[in-house]
Chain A
Amino acid sequence: MNFVAVQMLIGDRAKYLGLIFAVAFSTFLMSQQSTIFAGIMDRTTSGIKDIKDANIWVMDRKTQYFDESKALTDDDVYRVRSVPGVEWAVPLFKGLPRAKAFDGNFRVVIMMGLDDASLVGAPRDMVMGSADDLRKPDAVLIDRVGYEFFFPKQPYRLGQTLELNDHRVTIQGIFNSSAPFQNLPVFYARYSQALNYVGRERNQLSFVLAKAQNGLTDAEVCRRIDAATGLHATTGREFGWQTIRYYIAHTGIPVNFGITIGIALVVGTIVAGQTFYIFTLENLKQFGALKAIGVTNWRITGMILLQALMVGAMGYSIGIAMTAAFLEVTKGNLDLRGFVLFWQIAAGTGAVVLFIVMAASLMSIRRVLVLEPAVVFRG
């Protein structure tokens, strides 16, 4: 009877396409919006993710998220280094100076100041130049977004200069950065120089980056740093999640995306449910005839579920393909980079679509199950 169920479904082209469209539309909205949401949340951790040399981040106890840190004292680096189990610890500066091109173009940028000696935390994904060139005088590394903003339509070239807090800086490397939340250009400089590029404060150290000695877990070393210094130490991964939780809790972003996803769910369920129900109502006589002929309720339930699953699978495939196409089309745009369809989103959307088609078919199944086969003799 599966063959009969499939033929009944695809035989009514208009409703079949309507059902698939409803599910595809819901799938697209849910997966695309979830992807954008996840991508934006991921962006809030870009500065953490891009530092690959150190696993442990040490900060003031009251720090809530990456973009808002309270300055530590320079002594804190030495205090962390003195904690048993710490292999090494280096300072990290993060500031938001204003960079100016000599044509007058300016923009606030994210300035990361790396330990002068070790350059721990330097970008790995270099497009041009080398992170080691940060040792040159007035050297900065700039990400592609920054370069293309300050030098629009110009080929990548090292040696270009910009002005930062009345200091002339020379670009010694261009790199790919993870897209930051505010999509600001990202600069790297030596720690000592980065401090000069931002207005002076009494304390300027943003974070201490540390590494656990071999044989000790990051969590254990973090606990030791906490106890010995009174600062807060955490792993980069946990700091990333802490930052994401901050944005979820303190911004309207999740609510906005949640509303869109919720609407997609409701509209998808209602449209698919209504269309499926009408489809069943219009076939009620046929279902009655099948019941009279001797098709069991179980089999008819199986037929309706098969139809629902078929619509769900088709709609889901089209919707996910639309999301993938959207991401493929936009991936070349630097401002939209970094959005990825996580497998968790694809799987979660699939589960929701399954719910939609099951909910849509339940009403139909109930209608058919209570159908008296004798109805076929009533004209």
Chain B
Amino acid sequence: MTHTVQELTHPAVVCRRVTKDFGAGDNQVHVLRGVDLDVPFGEMTLLVGPSGCGKTTLLSVVAGLLNPTSGAVMVLGEDAGSMSGNQAIEFRRRNIGFVFQQYNLLPALTAAENAAVPLFAAGVPKKKAVAAASSLLSELGLGDRLHALPSQLSGGQQQRVALARALVHEPRLVVCDEPTSALDHATGNAVMELLTNVAVRPDRAVVVVTHDSRVFRFADRIAHMDDGRIVETEEDQSQSAVKTFGHQPMYAEVNS
């Protein structure tokens, strides 16, 4: 897929004064309270913050899974807030890859079949879809586990299958929800390295929600959230492989 220079110079995601409320009346909860966020192409942006600060809700809004209550959300140049249900589904299918905290692999499908699910959803014939997924899984180091069921894979291997599923249809935005929280340190690092090396491309943006401060070093940009707002955005200041941020606050490792 080719993109114009103008497209790529614009951020992949632009949020302006985004709010999101749940419930009504006395039970109304203001989860997002005016979020401003830019997610550039070619970078990995981390959304970090304490539990209940609105990270996952913001990720859902960015991914087109939730509509904002107010504010503007432009994703890949499209107004995500004004899409109809079917338009949003089609948009997600074409443009967004998902990596979930609990992997959410289908237990009855093999690794290759799981990774091919977005292609099945797009109507690609099974043989072709599985071949594409198998090729990607091989790139991710799972060439010898293509026919294994999720129950036969370790946590790290399952997350790699989930990563392949997120990338197999060449999305322009990849959203990851706590991709390392269920993994040990070494496996989490390996997954983040793969994410950095395989997912981040000049024509693609990656947004990761995480509590895990050990993976901050993989980020190009870190947006700190608190109480429904982005309170600080840090950019990687170095040009070296080892990234340096001003500070790396630790957050409680309990998801909201």
Complex: A291 Cα to B120 Cα, angstroms? 13
- Whether A292 and B63, one on each chain, are in contact in the complex, defined by CB atoms closer than 8 angstroms, is yes
Q: Which residue of B lies closest to A373 (CB)?
A: B65
B93 touches A374 (CB 8 A): no
Q: How big is chain A's contact interface, by range?
A: 20 to 34
* A3 and B126 in contact, given A292-B98, A294-B118 (Cβ under 8 angstroms): yes
Flag if B255 contacts A8 (CB, 8 Å).
Answer: no
Chain A neighbourhood of B108, CB < 8 A: 7-12
Q: Is the CB of B92 within 8 A of A292?
A: yes
A293 touching B100, Cβ below 8 Å: no
Verify B120–A285 contact, CB threshold 8 A: no
B-side contacts of A3, CB under 8 Å: 113, 120, 126
Q: Is B203 in the interface zone, CB < 8 Å from A?
A: no
- Looking at the assembled complex, report how far the CB atom of B5 sits from the nearest CB atom of chain A, in whole angstroms: 28
**A and B contact pairs by CB, cutoff 8 A, 18 listed:** A3-B113, A3-B120, A4-B113, A8-B106, A10-B108, A286-B107, A289-B98, A289-B100, A290-B117, A293-B92, A293-B93, A293-B98, A294-B92, A294-B96, A374-B66, A376-B104, A376-B177, A377-B101
Q: B104 touching A4 by the CB < 8 A rule?
A: no
Residues of chain A lying within 8 A (CB to CB) of residue B65: 292, 372-374, 376-377
Partner-B contacts on A (CB < 8 A): 1, 3-4, 7-12, 285-286, 288-296, 299, 372-374, 376-379
Chain A residues with Cβ under 8 A from B63's Cβ? 292
Contact in complex: A4, B89 (CB < 8 Å): no
Partner of B102 from the list A12, A291, A374, A379 (CB cut-off 8 Å) is A379
A173 to B139, CA, bound (A): 86
Asked whether, in the complex, the Cβ of B120 is within 8 Å of the Cβ of A294, the reply is no
Closest A residue to B149 by beta carbon equals A11
Q: How far is the CA of A301 from the CA of B179 in the complex (A)?
A: 30
Indicate if the CB atoms of B59 and A377 lie closer than 8 Å: yes
B33: min CB distance to chain A, Å: 18
Given A289-B104, A290-B121, A374-B60, is A379 in contact with B255 using a C-beta cutoff of 8 Å? yes
Q: Once the chains are docked, how many angstroms separate the CA of A296 from the CA of B92?
A: 11
B28 within 8 A of A: no
- If A295-B121, A299-B121 touch, does A285 touch B104 (CB 8 Å cutoff)? yes
Min CB distance, B157 to chain A, in Å? 18
Known: A7-B109, A12-B108, A291-B89. 15 other contacts (CB 8 A): A4-B106, A7-B106, A10-B108, A11-B109, A285-B102, A286-B106, A290-B117, A292-B65, A294-B92, A373-B65, A374-B66, A376-B65, A377-B177, A377-B209, A379-B102
Is B21 on the interface with A (CB-CB < 8 A)? no
CB distance from A374 to the nearest CB of B (A): 4
Nearest-neighbour CB distance to chain B for A39, whole angstroms, equals 43
Q: Cβ of B197: which chain A residues have Cβ within 8 Å of it? A: none
B90 interface contact, C-beta 8 A:
yes
Task: Provide the residues of chain B in CB contact with A294, threshold 8 Å.
Answer: 89-90, 92-94, 96, 118, 121-122
Is there contact, CB below 8 Å, between A377 and B60? yes
Q: Report if B240 contacts A (CB, 8 A).
A: no
In the complex, chain B residues 239-256 whose Cβ is within 8 Å of any chain A Cβ: 255
Interface residue ranges, B against A (CB under 8 Å)? 56, 59-60, 63, 65-66, 86, 89-90, 92-94, 96, 98, 100-102, 104, 106-109, 113, 117-118, 120-122, 126, 165, 177-178, 209, 255
Chain A residues whose C-beta falls within 8 Å of the C-beta of B118 in the assembled complex: 293-294
Min Cβ gap A250→B in Å is 55
Cα separation A9 to B106 with both chains bound (whole Å): 11
Q: How far is it, in angstroms, between the C-alpha of A42 and the C-alpha of B146 when the chains are bound?
A: 60
Q: How many angstroms between the C-alpha atoms of A292 and B175 in the bound complex?
A: 11
**Distance A288 CA – B117 CA, assembled complex (angstroms):** 13
Interchain nearest-CB distance for A15 vs B (Å): 11
A140 to B56 CA separation, bound complex (whole angstroms):
92
Chain A residues with Cβ below 8 Å from B122 are: 294
Q: Is the CB of A378 within 8 A of B98?
A: no
A286 to B120, CA, bound (A): 15
Could you tell me the distance between the alpha carbons of A236 and B172 in the complex, rounded to whole angstroms?
78
Residues on the A chain within 8 Å of B101, using CB: 377, 379
Q: Are A7 and B121 in contact (CB under 8 A)?
A: no
Contact of B109 among A4, A285, A291, A372 (CB under 8 A): A4
In the docked arrangement, what's the CA distance between A379 and B117, Å? 21
* Cα–Cα distance between A282 and B60 once the two chains are bound (Å): 23
Whether A296 lies near B102 (C-beta < 8 A) is no
Interface centre among B90, B100, B165 (most CB of A within 10 A): B100
Q: Is the CB of B86 within 8 A of A296?
A: yes
Chain B residue nearest in CB terms to A7: B108
Contacts of A372 in B (CB 8 A): 65-66
- For the complex, what is the distance from the CA of A299 to the CA of B56, rounded to whole Å? 27
Residues of A within 8 Å of B107, CB to CB, are 11-12, 286
Closest-by-CB residue of A relative to B122 is A294
* One of A7, A286, A299 near B104 (C-beta < 8 A): A286
Give the most central of A1, A9, A294: most B CB within 10 Å: A294
Q: Identify which of B86, B100, B109 contacts A377 (C-beta below 8 A).
A: B100
Tell me the complex Cα distance, A16–B178, Å. 33
B109 close to A296 (CB less than 8 A): no
Residues of A within 8 A of B94 (CB): 294
Question: Is the CB–CB distance between B102 and A293 below 8 Å?
Answer: no
Query: Please, how many angstroms separate the alpha-carbon atoms of A289 and B109 in the complex?
Result: 14
Question: Judging by beta carbons under 8 Å apart, are A378 and B93 in contact?
Answer: no
Determine how close the nearest CB of chain A comes to the CB of B149; give it in whole angstroms.
8
Docked complex Cα distance between A155 and B130 (Å): 70
**Cβ of B86 and Cβ of A4 under 8 Å apart?**
no
Return chain B residues, CB-CB under 8 Å to A1: 120-121
For residue B177, which residues in chain A have a CB less than 8 angstroms away from its CB?
376-377
What is the CA–CA distance of A3 and B63 in the complex, to the nearest angstrom? 27
Closest chain A residue to B182, Cβ basis: A379
Chain B residue at minimal CB-CB distance from A8 = B108
Question: Which B residues are in CB contact (< 8 Å) with A288?
Answer: 104
